Structure 1
Amino acid sequence: MANAIQSQTNITVGRGLLERVLFSTVTTVPCCVFLFINGTMLFTLRSKTVFCETSRYILLFNLLFADTVQLALSQLLYILAACGIQLMYPLCGVLTMLSDLTNEISPLTLVVMSLERYVAVCYPLRHSTIITIRNTEVAIIVVWVFSSLNILIEVLLLLDFPFENLESLQMKVFCARENMLLGQMSDGYDKVFTYFLFVSAGMAVTSSYIGVIIAARSASTDKASARKARNTLLLHLGQLGLSLSSTIYNPLLVAMSKVLQKIVLVRIQIVLYVCIVIFPRCLSALIYGIRDQTIRPILICYLCCRLKLSHFSQG
């Protein structure tokens, strides 16, 4: 998958050290805040037995874990580029492949979560037999295996590049997937997989949403449960849309670079990075942390306790 998330590292065109520090701070501060929220949410989902024995919370943990790793890797690459640090090709390849892997986990997990909500509303009597802990774990394993196979194919296509012609394995530019010496075959595969993934995920979530709407009109369906599931699926569609927007990130920046000055482009780039990369990666924690009445009081308690401990240690 074309990892648009790394392309924000063009920050290196900034003018001078002060400007680089300023731009890095603008992105690092909200990133650290969201990493703190996501980390607390992950801890919350492992703090109670009910969260470890409920399928939708297990799926949520998987989604949050992938988003948190993705956010951390993106910010790491951003800071490395802002500091002008050039990596070796193998190390950059590992980081970008890990970023690709976690980036693909999110939409696939959203599909599984949408199907779980569909079964809960449309087949409430069979939900406990279909959506079991074992089946949920199998679904998560399938998601990770499918994404890992895609990464394996990308690595095999990458190995087709004649690395022996390189003078050194030291990169001459910042670490980003588009700077990893990708051939035409690799680039074509990446585009096809990206389109396939998001079209398939979009169709699956949309179909689940339509199924819930149809079921909500049935007299035997719990109206409140159906309405809540419908709203959750709409939020999942929104999350998919934000993930899909990252695929047009590079073409959009390329188009703007032809008509805008570099400093203006960098500023717009930072705004897009915060909106497209950082915010979506904490959206799951905000959605479930605020909407779910089981999670909300425990999450607030942990957040407040950690903030108090942090303030006490600093004092």
Structure 2
Amino acid sequence: MAANISVAGGFLLRQINYQIIIVQILVIIFLWVNMLLIVTFFKKECFYASARYILFAVMLLSDSMVLIVSDVLLILSYFQLTVHVWLCTIISAVTLIYAHVTPVTLTAMTLERYAAICMPLRHAELCSTRRVMFFILVIHGISSGPCVVILSMFFASASLSFYKQSMICSAERFLFQTWQQHLWYAVSQIYFLIMCIILVFCYERIMKVAKAASLENKLSTQKGLRTVLLHAFQLLLCLIQLWCPFIEAAVFQIDLNLFSRVRYFNYIMFSLAPRCLSPLIYGLRDETFFLALKNYTCFSLSKRSIF
């Protein structure tokens, strides 16, 4: 009996190790691809004058930040390493903000496609470089909403002695009461609902333009429609991530082992997967960016071979 328990424990430990290794491989691959795309963006000055590419770069930087910080939290949690509360507060704030920057930026990119297709004469004015810089500040301000809610409740209810303690870092640690968790879930659902409404509105308007478009504009309109559909799928995965804490809290009350599996699945499916779609949507489908990426990659490889 003891031998069977030992074998089962060893198999579980190996399984967890494999899961951690898989996550590290995926994170390294995604970060390498994101960094390559970010460098490509900064190498071409023509991308600086386009709203869609600027927002794409913001999303890549946000995705890279989330990948790094969430992976650090995963490793700390796996090895049961504790950190000071003040440091955990900073890490959790960064995680909460940039976890929402990606879906909010995707919503902004959908609105940019809507303006380009449905209001082509005003697109240059509405999506100028100066306005995009202002929109980036708005995106980060909107994304900070859930973080402000959670930290405000934490600062109002935590005692001074709590700040001197150490703990396994997680955003859920800052929610002491059940009503605080419910408020956090409510804020997440409001974000979910608003972004879904914007997405459906833009898709419906672009569909009308696509049906009424002339033959010469049909191809560009259809391409924009496909881009919005890909945004919708990517945004759906990001928005489902807002539901994950609610699902994980319910599963936690049922079974701890099931909770760990569900949380691992949610991390892979709704945190890592949406962030690997960004390079596919703009890095490969977009002809201009793909050519710039191809030229930069080939130039770098040829330069290294000559060296």
Structure-2 separation of matches of 1:256 and 1:308? 53
Cα offset, 1:232, TM superposition:
1.0
**Are 1:193 and 2:187 matched, yes or no?**
yes
Alpha carbons of 1:219 and 1:228: their partners in 2 closer, same or farther (altered >3 Å)? closer
Structure-2 separation of matches of 1:183 and 1:259? 19
- Residue type at the aligned position of 1:177: A
8 Å contact 2:34–2:60 — kept in the other structure? yes
Alpha carbons of 1:118 and 1:14: their partners in 2 closer, same or farther (altered >3 Å)? farther
Cα offset, 1:114, TM superposition:
0.9
8 Å contact 2:30–2:276 — kept in the other structure? yes
1:104 is aligned, of 90, 100, 105, to: 100
Query: TM-score scaled by structure 1?
Result: 0.83
SS at match of 1:217: helix
Cα offset, 1:54, TM superposition:
0.9
Alpha carbons of 1:149 and 1:14: their partners in 2 closer, same or farther (altered >3 Å)? farther
Which is helix-richer, 1 or 2?
2
Alpha carbons of 1:28 and 1:114: their partners in 2 closer, same or farther (altered >3 Å)? same
1:210 is aligned, of 199, 204, 214, to: 204
- Residue type at the aligned position of 1:285: P
2:42 is aligned, of 40, 43, 46, to: 46
8 Å contact 1:44–1:298 — kept in the other structure? yes
- Residue type at the aligned position of 2:273: F
Structure-2 separation of matches of 1:300 and 1:86? 44
- Residue type at the aligned position of 2:140: W
Spell out the pairing of 1:108-127 with structure 2 (5 A cutoff): 108-127=104-123
1:170 is aligned, of 151, 166, 171, to: 166
Residue 287 of structure 1 aligns with which residue? 281
Structure-2 separation of matches of 1:236 and 1:123? 19
Alpha carbons of 1:215 and 1:102: their partners in 2 closer, same or farther (altered >3 Å)? same
**Are 1:242 and 2:237 matched, yes or no?**
yes
Structure-2 separation of matches of 1:278 and 1:102? 13
2:154 is aligned, of 129, 151, 158, to: 158
Residue 53 of structure 2 aligns with which residue? 57
Greater RCO (CA < 8 Å, at least 6 residues apart): 1
8 Å contact 1:14–1:266 — kept in the other structure? no
Structure-2 separation of matches of 1:310 and 1:20? 39
Query: TM-score scaled by structure 2?
Result: 0.85
Structure-2 separation of matches of 1:180 and 1:219? 52
Cα offset, 1:138, TM superposition:
1.2
Alpha carbons of 1:19 and 1:168: their partners in 2 closer, same or farther (altered >3 Å)? farther
8 Å contact 1:290–1:296 — kept in the other structure? yes
Spell out the pairing of 1:243-258 with structure 2 (5 A cutoff): 243-253=238-248
8 Å contact 2:282–2:289 — kept in the other structure? yes
Residue 32 of structure 1 aligns with which residue? 28
Residue 139 of structure 2 aligns with which residue? 143
Structure-2 separation of matches of 1:252 and 1:311? 51
In the alignment, structure 2 segments of 5+ residues that lack a partner are 1-8
RMSD: 3.0
Structure-1 separation of matches of 2:69 and 2:252? 25
In the alignment, structure 1 segments of 5+ residues that lack a partner are 1-12
